Amino acid sequence: MSDSVRVRFAPSPTGHLHVGGARTALFNWLFARHHGGRFVLRIEDTDVARNRPEYTQAIYAGLRWIGLDWDEGPDVGGPHGPYLQSQRADRHLAVARELLALGRAYECFCSQRPADDDENDDEPEAVAPAALPCTCAALSDADKTEARARGPAAIRFKVPPGQDLVVDDLIRDRVTFPKETVGDFIIVTSDNRALYNLAVVIDDHDMAITHVIRGDEHLANTPKQQLLYDALGWTAPRFAHIPIILNAQRRKLPKRDGATSLNEYEAMGYVPEAVVNFLALLGWSPRDNREVLTRDELIKLFDVDGVVKHPAIFDTTKLGWMNKEYIKSQPAGALADRLLALMRSHPNAAGAAVGSVDGGAAIASLDRTYIERVASLFHDRVRTVIDVFELGSYFFTDGVITPTE
C-alpha cells in the first residue's frame, strides 16, 4: 500500500476519551504509521447542547497520554482544515444545495418529528430503520411555495429505487442492506443544520481520507454515505468496521461511565504502554499470537486483515497482568517517575490511596530519591502504580518509617 494512506479519528467532545474511542484512534494511528500515511484528528463539535471545550482538551490529553500524535488537526493545522466540524457548516450547506440542484435531494415539509438515525452521530443505531414515509418529493411548485410560507424546510436525500445496497468492508467483507431498509433520509434539518451522514461524507472527502476505520455501530450508516458519495460523483474511502467492545458480562461498555475513560485508568495507576498494548489486542492479534508487544512491534505488525468480526471482551484481569509486566520490565527509577507523575496529574487519587486528608499535598512534597527507595521495595509486587501508595502507605504518612536500601 502506498504512502498516500490517510485516516482520521473524529470524536465528539461530549466527555472524556472512552476506551472504545481510544481503541479506534489507536487502530487508525497504527494503520497510518504501518503504511507510512497520515493520521488526521477532526473534532465533530456540532452537538451544541453537550459539547464542552474542556472535553476537547481532554481528548487531546488522552491521546497524548497513550502516545498518539496526529499529523493534522485543530491544534496543529494542516492543508485540509478547518478540523473543527462546527467551522465547516457553510461548506455542508453548500453541498446540500448542490444535491438539490442535481435533483438528488428535495425540500421536506413534513411536520416536526425526530430526524432519522443519522442525526445522532455519537450513538448511531445498530440497524438502519426505514425512513418514515414522506410525499414531499411529489409536491408541485405551488404547494412548495405555500409550505415555505408556513415555515422552513428540511432537506431529504432521494434514494434511488430498485436495488439492494452493498458495502464491501475490509473486515466484515460484503454486507447487503435490503433496499426497503433505506428510505429517503434527512440530510439538513429545518433549522439549517447538516446531519451526520452528510457532514461526515463532505469532511472525509475534503480531507482526502482514504480509509475509514471505525466502530461497527457505524456500519448501518455506511450505505447512506455511499449513496451520497455516488450522488456527488466522489470516490468513497475504503471502510473497515472494527468489532464492538463488551465487558466481562458481555454487555456494551457505556460511553459515559467514568470507569471506562482513559483519564480514569490513568488515575487508577495503569501505565500508557500497557494500555496501548491491551487496546491493540481488543479485536486484533498478530499472526504469532504474542501478547506483549512494544509500540514499534505494533506498528510493524498491525493491519486490518488481522482484525476479527466478533466482539472483543474487555478483560480487566488481563489488563492488570499486562500492566504488572510492564512495571516489572522497567527499573525502579521508572516506577518512581510514574509515581511522581501520578502525584502531579491526580493528587487526590494518590492522597486517597494512603488515606491522606490533604489531597496528596504531603506526598507531592517528598523528594525523588525517597520515592525511588520506596518504589524499589514494591517494584516486583504491584499491579498498578497506585498500588505502591496502598501497599506502602506508611511510608507516605507522617514519617515514622524510613525505607532502607
What is the domain partition of the chain in residue ranges?
330-395
CA distance 116 to 131: 6
pLDDT band for 30, please (50, 70, 90 cuts): very high
Mean of all residue pLDDT scores within the chain? 88
Q: Which whole number is the average pLDDT over 10-34?
A: 96
Please list the helix, strand and coil fractions of the chain in percent, rounded to the nearest 5, in that order. 45, 15, 40
- Residue 18's contacts (CB-CB under 8 Å, 6 or more residues apart) are 253, 255, 256, 260, 261, 262
Q: Rounded to a whole number, what is the largest CA-CA distance in the chain?
A: 91
Q: At 16, list the grid cell.
A: 472524556
Q: Is the pLDDT of residue 233 over 90?
A: yes
Q: What is the pLDDT of residue 399?
A: 52
d(CA 401, CA 160): 77
Is 60 exceeded by the pLDDT of residue 153? yes
Rounded Cα distance between 21 and 188, Å, is: 26
pLDDT band at residue 349 under the 50/70/90 scheme:
confident
Instruction: Specify the pLDDT at position 299.
Output: 98
Could you report the per-residue pLDDT of 276-327, keeping only the tens digit for each?
999 999 999 998 889 999 999 999 999 999 999 999 999 999 999 999 999 9
C-beta neighbour count of 331 within 10 angstroms: 12
Q: 124: pLDDT confidence band, cut at 50, 70 and 90?
A: very low
Marked catalytic residue, from 144, 179, 255, 300: 255
Distance of alpha carbon 96 from alpha carbon 157, whole angstroms: 9
Q: What are phi and psi of 138, to 5 degrees?
A: -95, 5
- Does the active-site annotation cover 255? yes
pLDDT reading at 387 higher than 60 = yes
Nearest to 231 by CA among 357, 350, 55, 104: 104
- Measured between alpha carbons, how far is 313 from 250 in angstroms, rounded to an integer? 7
Is residue 98 classed as helix, strand or coil in its secondary structure? helix
Measured between alpha carbons, how far is 241 from 90 in angstroms, rounded to an integer? 29
Q: Are strands 211-215 and 185-188 parallel, antiparallel or unpaired?
A: unpaired
Euclidean distance between CA atoms 368 and 374, whole angstroms = 10
- Other CB atoms within a 10 A radius of the CB of residue 257 amount to 13
Give the three cell numbers for residue 70. Answer: 496526529
- Where does the pLDDT of residue 26 fall: very low under 50, low under 70, confident under 90, or very high at 90 and above? very high
